[in-house]
Chains A and B, each alone.
Chain A
Amino acid sequence: MMDKFNTLSGIAAPMPLINIDTDMIIPKQFLKTIKRSGLGVNLFDEMRYDDDGQEIPDFVLNKTAYRNAEIIVGGDNFGCGSSREHAPWALLDFGIRCVISTSFADIFYGNCFKNGILPIVLPKEQVDQLMEDAERGENARISVDLEAQTVTSSDGTEFRFEVDPFKKQCMLNGLDDISLTMEKSAAIDTFEADYQARMPWS
């Protein structure tokens, strides 16, 4: 069951690199698990650790200020690449509950909502402003209010974001969408019977 998401106030880590792909977020050697949990330690593994498994000090999430980050302010086209839901699982397991960018890859964007991570799309100037804010370290806490659809920077500047109403309700209430769909199983039954009659080969 997904955790509810309403408001969040936390440290934001700046990751201005564009096209941060799912292979960066969680490399394939960690996809061999049959569980959803425990992936946080390998989040951004190849950027975060050297060949000997030691932390690379320059990597943002290894810096003291950002070790407890709950938000990532990311570059354009965040989450491009594969459909692996291990990417949001790893982010969540690390403690990230919100990613802010100018754009997200479709599948990653959808996968975030299924796991209680809020992906927020904002115009470039606003993301740039939040990126600057995030670069100020742990004193710069960014706040997110899903109900009100606002992001507030540490100096109190408020930005409004758009979110699909259905996805918003699911996030706010921690709803399991399979249960929601199964409430409509009569409609699916009716459709399926008619469809099979029209397209018996399908």
Chain B
Amino acid sequence: MTAPKTLYDKIWDAHVAHQDDDGTCLLYIDRHLVHEVTSPQAFEGLRLAGRKVRAPGKTIAVPDHNVPTTLDRAKGIENEESRIQVEALDKNAREFGVVYYPVDDIRQGIVHIVGPEQGWTLPGMTVVCGDSHTATHGAFGALAHGIGTSEVEHVLATQTLIQKKSKNMRVEITGQLQPGVTAKDITMAVIGTTGTAGGTGHVIEYCGEAIAALSMEGRMTVCNMAIEGGARAGIIAPDDKTFAYVMGRPHAPKGAAWEMALAYWKTLFTDDGATFDQVITLKGEDIAPVVTWGTSPEDVLPITSTVPAPSDFSGGKVAAVERALDYMGLTPGMKLTDVAIDTVFIGSCTNGRIEDLRAAAKVLKGRKIKEGMRAMIVPGSGLVRAQAEEEGLDVIFTDAGFEWRLAGCSMCLAMNPDQLQPGERCAATSNRNFEGRQGRGGRTHLLSPAMAAAAAITGHLTDIRDFEGDA
């Protein structure tokens, strides 16, 4: 009888290729996703050392951060540095022979949307990428996390990472969500509870009735923001929904291999009696639709709240809140629903999937955005875009006054031309509200796709429950 293991323990143990006496391991990597921003120095390092990519068939490259999302992007990238970076990825992908979805391929999109969509991400795998939102893939019961460029080079050369095991943390969401509450609200509410450093050194396993009830898209949203809570990775045990999502994807196993894989995947759960170093439990019923008011993802409050005062906090947070309120141009006591918005961004690896677009379309159908509002919807991949068009969502978006864009990271981090100007205030479905994140001086409020759509119509942060009532 072996000791009970957590899901993380099981995946970790299955991938230890070598272990030193001090516990330092070489962890074998199943999938290495690569984008243009964090990889050029790594490929250059290989070249200088005369090294090859050890497993090009397990290495998947796609440009996403810098690519324009306007409909005329076939004419090329105007910004020279961005263009050089995308060209470098093109050259490196071809020269080193890795799997590659170039910018004009319909399968191109945000790396964390493309991986699952193409069936590269499978339960039980280790998935890494030079991008902190790699945690997204944990929704499949894969151990997935971001790495730096030196580690990108290490994985390219050796297909392993030098790692020490993280601690186990369980976040359980019991019961059922109230109407209007989404996966985005769950993951933000958790960060509001734990703080942005609450998960540091841990891998979070999300579980409980409310998590099990989520779609795969919703689970990806939850795991995506594990990093904003400081966790190395977020993970959810695979179940029938996971298997149904994966089945038939281009790179998912088929036939006998599928049966073999499925039998293994069904062993991927936390054993009864396994111990966690930290446990957090939230009641699904207690979670409200939330928004951020400050410049850290932990600055989360229910939409029904008012802007807090620095004196509501203690320690180093007091000065941080003073700074955040000044940056955000908000006054303590102000109702969050009174905060006026001039820009709406729906998209990103957090909320750029088809279900997110459907949620936005449900709110926008037959309505118009407020006059003067700049609103854009950026699908997570070319295939998400195609699916949305097949369902007629694009017509709803454009009729409402939204721009309907091509796939990419876009205004989540504003490396391409989609940026906020100083003082502009954006309701965004992305993952970070840091100072300057969406453009120097830009102000970001994070929220769910439905809440972002509602804000576009009313011109201010809006409680989706008031909205859906008369929808």
Contact = CB atoms under 8 A, between A and B. Distances in A.
Interface of A: 16-19, 21, 23-24, 27-29, 31-36, 46, 51, 75-77, 80-85, 88, 103-107, 110-111, 114-115, 164-166, 177-178, 181-182, 184-185, 187-188, 191-192, 195, 199-202
A106 B201 contact: yes
Contact of B435 (A31, A33, A46): A46
A62 B157 CA distance: 40
Contacts of B15: 195
Contact of B440 (A27, A36, A181, A202): A27
B157 A182 contact: yes
Nearest to B162: A177
B81 A82 contact: no
Given A106-B232, A165-B22, A181-B154, 18 more contacts: A17-B320, A28-B413, A32-B66, A34-B84, A75-B316, A77-B200, A77-B230, A80-B196, A82-B131, A83-B38, A103-B197, A105-B197, A107-B232, A166-B24, A181-B162, A182-B157, A195-B28, A201-B252
Contacts of B148: 83-85, 88, 107, 110-111, 114
Interface of B: 14-15, 17-18, 20, 22, 24, 26, 28, 30, 37-38, 40-41, 44-45, 49, 51, 65-66, 79, 81-82, 84-85, 88, 122, 124-125, 130-132, 134, 145-151, 153-154, 157-160, 162, 164, 166, 196-197, 200-201, 230, 232, 252-253, 257-258, 260-261, 264, 296, 298, 315-317, 319-320, 323, 413-415, 422, 432, 434-437, 440-441
A199 B124 CA distance: 10
Chain B interface SS verdict (over half): loop
Contacts of B85: 32, 34
Given A17-B320, A28-B415, A187-B26, A84 B17 contact: no
Contact of A192 (B17, B84, B415): B17
B200 A178 contact: no
Contact of A110 (B122, B131, B151, B320): B151
B159 A188 contact: yes
A17 B319 contact: yes
A191 B261 contact: no
A114 B151 contact: yes
B200 A32 contact: no
Given A85-B148, A181-B160, A32 B81 contact: yes
A83 B147 contact: yes
Nearest to B252: A201
B19 to A, nearest CB: 9
25 contacts: A21-B432, A28-B414, A31-B37, A36-B149, A75-B316, A75-B320, A76-B197, A77-B197, A77-B200, A77-B230, A83-B131, A84-B148, A107-B147, A110-B148, A164-B24, A166-B20, A178-B51, A184-B26, A187-B26, A188-B26, A188-B158, A191-B28, A192-B17, A201-B252, A201-B261
A88 B315 CA distance: 27
**B45, B148, B157, most chain A CB atoms within 10 A:** B148
A21 B298 CA distance: 13
Given A188-B159, A191-B17, A24 B320 contact: no
B113 to A, nearest CB: 17
Contacts of B257: 200-201
Given A111-B148, A202-B125, A106 B41 contact: no
A81 B415 contact: no
B252 to A, nearest CB: 8
Contacts of A84: 37-38, 148
B40 A80 contact: no
Given A177-B154, A187-B17, A81 B432 contact: yes
Contact of B200 (A51, A105, A192): A105
Nearest to B434: A23
B81 A33 contact: yes
Contacts of A46: 435-436, 440
- What are the nearest 3 A-B pairs in CB distance? A201-B253, A32-B81, A114-B150
Contact of A31 (B122, B232, B415): B415
A32 B158 contact: no
B415 A201 contact: no
A169 to B, nearest CB: 10
A192 B55 CA distance: 11
A147 B79 CA distance: 46
A17 B44 CA distance: 36
Nearest to A112: B148
A81 B296 CA distance: 10
A133 to B, nearest CB: 18
Contacts of B66: 32
A18 B298 CA distance: 12
Contacts of A23: 432, 434-437
A200 B260 contact: yes
A32 B132 contact: no
**B15, B30, B316, B415, most chain A CB atoms within 10 A:** B316
Contacts of A35: 41
B146 A29 contact: no
A132 to B, nearest CB: 14
B164 A164 contact: yes
A80 B431 CA distance: 13
Nearest to B21: A165
B122 A85 contact: no
A32 B79 contact: yes
B415 A32 contact: yes
Contacts of B166: 106
